[in-house]
Amino acid sequence: MVDIPAPIIHYIVNFLLETRSLAYLLVNKDGYLVAWGGKLVEFGITNLRKGENIGEQVFFLEGLLPLDDIPLFLPLIKTEYGICADIHIFPSDEGDWVLLLDSTWNEKQLSLIQQITNDCSLLREKLTKIPNQ
């Protein structure tokens, strides 16, 4: 593992906690919810029941768990509440962790870049038509 000084690790953790809503779920290998925490309500996840099947409680996880010991990253997933989330699913000895990080800012930046690219394409198209007129 890379030797990272403690102040840098603390800065990164604090930065993530301050700038991106974070929520997590722990699901055992049989698909049952073990633990959860963070700002789940912001992602539209409520009324969780410990010991019950996670796919019946959090529908987007249906068919994704259990993991085969290979982490899974799903970027920019839009929730029904309009929140855009980066979803990290990774295995551990306790079960599979599902980490949700708010990525609304990234989505807005990507959308802005896409709009600028579209505008440039339209302008280029107009400019190529001018000599023909």
88-104 pLDDT, tens digit per residue, is 999 999 999 999 999 87
Q: Is residue 107 within 8 Å of residue 77, measured between CB atoms? A: no
Whether residues 78 and 126 fall in one domain: no
Whether residues 18 and 65 fall in one domain: yes
pLDDT, tens digit, 9 for 90 and up, residues 39-61:
999 898 999 999 999 999 998 89
CA angle 115, 119, 124 (to 5 degrees): 150
Residue 1 is assigned to a structural domain of this protein: no
- Full-model pTM: 0.74
Whether residues 46 and 76 fall in one domain: yes
Whether residues 110 and 57 fall in one domain: no
Whether residues 93 and 48 fall in one domain: yes
**What is the domain count for the chain?**
2
CA distance 27 to 71: 14
Q: Is residue 25 within 8 Å of residue 35, measured between CB atoms? A: yes
Domain containing residue 77: 6-102
Whether residues 69 and 88 fall in one domain: yes
